[in-house]
Amino acid sequence: MLKILIVTGELGQLRYYEEVAKRLKDQNCHIGFCCDRDDPGVAEAISKTAKKYDMDFYHHKESSDNFTYNPSPIKSLIDKYTEFKLFNKSKQIRALSANISKKKYNLFRNIHFSRLLAAYELLKNFKPNVIIIGEDGIAADFILISAAKKLFIPVIVLPYGLADSSYLISKGVEEKHKAGELLTTADPAVQLVKKLHPKWIKKTHYGEAIYLPPEFILAIESLKIKMPYPWCLQGGIADIILLESEVMYQRYLSEGIKNEKMKLTGSIYCDVMNDVITNDKAIKQAFEHYQRIDEHQLKILVCIPPSDHDGWKDKCDYKSVADFIAVLLNLFNQYKNIEVVYSLHPRMKESDRKEILSLGIAEQPNFPLYEIPKCDILLACGTSLARWALAARKIVVNFDLYKFGTNDFPHIPAHIQTTEIEELNRLIQKFSENPNCFRELLLNSKSELNKMGTINGQATLSIFNAIQEQIQIHRSKKVKMLRARLS
């Protein structure tokens, strides 16, 4: 029986990896979940999911409060030597290193090292044959990944979202700049990072910048924890990314991911939708013929995002997400032939959730992938679910609530982007009154829709076979290495 450890740390990802876990368990796999974040309520939610299916649960904590670092005298000497070696390579580096907080550097190094020890302990306890993660870059648990690689445990990426690394620039860097936290090479500490590890530097509108504190970066590098492409969300050292579609293959290639790190298997997202499509005659017919499910009623799924008002309210036309939903309700109430279902993002603040539900909407608690095949239109605000709605041959209206201007699929007619409620109203009116217009738009998008992901119910088996293949590759490598040592 294969033992698989699924690593996740976000409530937004949990419902997807719950599906992954269920379906791989049906392939006779022993599944464990690992939470790699300390955010309130996340570990509890993941533990609850694991318990629900009689799966193991681990918590690879990230907070410094959770560790006690007591190095031995020899380890203390090694630490001091490492620090001396790092900061005394040249006269220039000595001068720049004067701007580094040695206290922060040592704190981060101790945290990373303690987490590395905790990762080894976790992996030795569960003894997985393989680890599944959503991404392997700086947003991932690269400490656990590093430990797994040293123990010859294959690490496989089953992507959750679009992993568009440009968001690190368009959103992450902007947020840091607004908060006055963006560090550039105007700072000598960042100059030191550029001198020693230039891959961590990125050109931005505000100069050459880093995303993480310089002491954090230097501590990672001092422990030989590899991060080949820090500004790429899939820029880590996983063995392989199991790709959802040809579209994602091209996207990852454009971000610099090597061809040999990718394998096209399809996505469990598509298997979830396949279950819904094949079990309902009207939905199946709509899918096969690129048409609405019901000629007399337009079905709309609204995916409500978590609020970004803390950092971006100045770019939004609405006081809150609830204010936007209130406007939508007034719009929808004009029509008698539409049916609307609402799905609230699991990362939404409880206060925002209560405010939205107080408007009188009924929340659909299911994983949205079960609801997408049941709708004609997905109305969302910058969600990666758009690609799955397109794969399911639905029209997507991306309402750019915070006017980020990011359009993931501008070349697909069935993916419509707008920032205006009046334009949204015109679209709803057109598609509710004219089923032929709806079908024509889908047919005009047909060639692109079919590249978004194959819905045939075979992805889980394809993924399982790819996992077995990676395990066998690792076993062969380990045998060769042992033979080389003995010869």
Decide: residue 48, CB within 10 A, 0-12 exposed, 13-18 middle, 19+ buried: exposed
Hey, what amino acid is at 212?
Answer: L
**What distance in Å separates the CA atoms of residue 182 and residue 212, rounded to the nearest whole number?**
9
Q: What's the domain range around 122?
A: 3-267+458-486
Neighbouring CB atoms inside 10 A of 119's CB total: 23
Choose among 227, 228, 221: nearest CA to 85.
221
According to the model, what pLDDT value does residue 212 have? 94
Determine which of 87-96, 297-306, 320-329 has the lowest per-residue pLDDT on average: 87-96
Give residue 93's pLDDT band: very low, low, confident or very high (50, 70, 90): confident
Please indicate, yes or no, whether residues 244 and 135 belong to a single structural domain of this protein.
yes
- Above 60 in pLDDT, residue 44? yes
Please indicate, yes or no, whether residues 441 and 392 belong to a single structural domain of this protein.
yes
Mean pLDDT of 92-115: 86
Please indicate, yes or no, whether residues 369 and 390 belong to a single structural domain of this protein.
yes
Please indicate, yes or no, whether residues 274 and 263 belong to a single structural domain of this protein.
no
Extended strands (E) in 234-318: 240-243, 262-264, 298-304
Residue 248 CA, distance from chain mean position: 13
In this prediction, what percent of the chain has a pLDDT beyond 70?
98
**What distance in Å separates the CA atoms of residue 261 and residue 69, rounded to the nearest whole number?**
36
Q: How many domains does the chain have?
A: 2
Give residue 269's pLDDT band: very low, low, confident or very high (50, 70, 90): very high
Chain segment 394-404, per-residue pLDDT in tens: 999 999 999 98
Please indicate, yes or no, whether residues 280 and 329 belong to a single structural domain of this protein.
yes
Edge-to-edge strand list for the sheet holding 395-399: 338-344, 298-304, 377-380, 395-399, 415-418
According to the model, what pLDDT value does residue 481 have? 77
Please indicate, yes or no, whether residues 315 and 369 belong to a single structural domain of this protein.
yes
Mean pLDDT of 317-322: 95
Mean pLDDT of 453-468: 98
Give me the chain's average pLDDT, please. Answer: 92
According to the model, what pLDDT value does residue 67 have? 55
Contact 202, 218 (CB under 8 A): no
- Above 80 in pLDDT, residue 458? yes
- Above 80 in pLDDT, residue 113? yes
Please indicate, yes or no, whether residues 237 and 145 belong to a single structural domain of this protein.
yes
Give residue 141's pLDDT band: very low, low, confident or very high (50, 70, 90): very high
Please indicate, yes or no, whether residues 263 and 284 belong to a single structural domain of this protein.
no
According to the model, what pLDDT value does residue 68 have? 56
According to the model, what pLDDT value does residue 131 have? 99
Please indicate, yes or no, whether residues 46 and 131 belong to a single structural domain of this protein.
yes
- Above 90 in pLDDT, residue 328? yes
**Prediction pTM value:** 0.92
Determine which of 164-173, 223-232, 310-319, 434-443 has the lowest per-residue pLDDT on average: 164-173
**What distance in Å separates the CA atoms of residue 158 and residue 31, rounded to the nearest whole number?**
15
Mean pLDDT of 197-210: 95
Mean pLDDT of 130-159: 96
What's the CATH code of the domain at 274? Answer: 3.40.50.2000
**What distance in Å separates the CA atoms of residue 266 and residue 270, rounded to the nearest whole number?**
7
Please indicate, yes or no, whether residues 260 and 308 belong to a single structural domain of this protein.
no
Please indicate, yes or no, whether residues 359 and 305 belong to a single structural domain of this protein.
yes
- Above 90 in pLDDT, residue 357? yes
Choose among 215, 219, 153, 142: nearest CA to 183.
215
Neighbouring CB atoms inside 10 A of 350's CB total: 8
Please indicate, yes or no, whether residues 39 and 100 belong to a single structural domain of this protein.
yes
Choose among 211, 202, 218, 216: nearest CA to 183.
211
Write out the two tokens for 247: 């579209």
According to the model, what pLDDT value does residue 70 have? 66
